[in-house]
Amino acid sequence: MDCVVELEKHTTVDSLHSPSSLRINRVKEHRKSFSSWQVASPRRRSASIRLVARHPDVYEPCDDSFALVDALLADKVNLLEQRPSLCLEVGCGSGYVITSLALILGDVGNAQFLATDISQTAAQVTRETLSAHGLQADVVVTDLVHGLEKRLAGSVDVLVFNPPYVPTPEHEVGAAGITATWAGGERGRVVIDRMLTMVDNLLSTRGWFYMVTLTANNPSEICQIMKKKGFASRIVIQRYTEEENLHVLKFWREDLTFDYDYNSETGGGGATPQSSFSSKMSRFAFWK
C-alpha cells in the first residue's frame, strides 16, 4: 500500500466522456499541480484530492481507495436506480470514499450517509473532508459497526469497506498509528472475516456491499463464504498495480433479481455479467 500512485482516471465512466482523461502520477509528490481541483465543482463526481484532509496517522487515499471509488462510479447507473436511503462506510479513513459516494449519489438527493472508523483522528479527518465538500454525514468512532448493528439491522442499502487487507503478523492488527490502517493479519483476512459476519444483518433486502480485496486475501473464498450466507457476487473492478492486485467485489442477496445496466460497466476491467457462481469461479481460478 505504497501511496505513490499511478492512477488512470480514464477507467471511470465519467471521464470516458471527458476529453481530458486525467493521469495522476505520484500524487504525493505532485500535489501542487492540482490547483485546478481546488474548488469542488458541482460537476465533480468524486471527492477532490485537494480537499481531502490529512493527518500522519490517517490513511491517505491510495490505489485501493481510488479503485473503490472507480467501482462505485462504474456502478453509478445501478446505484442511482437502486435509490439508496442509507449508506454506510466502515473504516472511512480520510473520508475520500464516503465523500465520493455522497457526490455520486448527490443527484438523487434521497440518501443519508454514515461512516465509522476505529480511529478518532480518522473520524475527525473524515468530517473535515466532508465539510470541505459541503456535505453532511455523521461519523462514529467504533469497532466496525459495534453499537449500530442492532438498530441498523436490515436498513443499509449501500455498504462499503476498504479494509486493512495487507497480510501481516497478527499483532499488527489494531496496532497504534498508521499500521492499523492496513495491517490485516494472516492472509490479510482478520478484519475482513469479522466484517463478513455482519453484512447479512446490516443490509436491507435490496442492499449492496462493496469491498476491496487483494489476491492474497483469496477473494474466491470470500465469495464462497458470502454465497453460503445467500449472497451473489461479482468483480466490479480489477486493477493490477506494481505493488498489488486489487479487486473490488460487490455482493447482493441472491434471491434478489435485478437487471444490470451493463453499458455502464465498460471501464476499469469491470467483469462481464455472471449468471451463475460457476462461471464466476472460473474467473476466480485466474487468481490462484
Residues 97-116 that bind ligand SAM (CB under 6 A): 97, 116
Instruction: Enumerate the β-bridge partners of residue 33.
Output: none
Query: Applying CB under 8 A, does 102 fall inside the site for another protein?
Result: no
Can you tell me the distance from the alpha carbon of 95 to that of 118, in angstroms, rounded to the nearest whole number? 13
At closest approach, how far in Å is the CB of 242 from ligand SAM?
18
Comparison of 88 and 90: residue with beta carbon closer to ligand SAM: 90
Map residues 144-183 to x or -, x wherever contact with another protein holds by CB under 8 A: --xxxxxxx--x----------------------------
Q: What are phi and psi of 118, to 5 degrees?
A: -80, -15
Can you tell me the distance from the alpha carbon of 43 to that of 104, in angstroms, rounded to the nearest whole number? 10
Q: Out of 4, 8, 50, 142, which residue is the one contacting another protein (CB under 8 A)?
A: 142
Q: Is 67 helix (H, G, I), strand (E, B) or coil?
A: helix
Query: Applying CB under 8 A, does 203 fall inside the site for another protein?
Result: no
Comparison of 12 and 204: residue with beta carbon closer to another protein: 204
Q: Please give the C-alpha separations between residue 268 and each of 16, 63, 66, in angstroms, as whole numbers.
A: 11, 13, 11
H-type alpha helices, the chain: 13-16, 63-74, 76-82, 96-104, 120-132, 149-152, 190-202, 219-228, 277-284
Query: Applying CB under 8 A, does 38 fall inside the site for another protein?
Result: no
Q: Out of 123, 160, 236, 271, which residue is the one contacting another protein (CB under 8 A)?
A: 123
Which of ligand SAM, another protein, none does residue 155 bind (CB under 5 to 8 Å by kind)? another protein
Give Cα 250 distance to the centre of its chain: 10
Residues in contact with ligand SAM by the rule CB under 6 A = 59, 61, 65, 68, 90-94, 96-97, 116-119, 122, 143-144, 162, 164, 180-182, 191
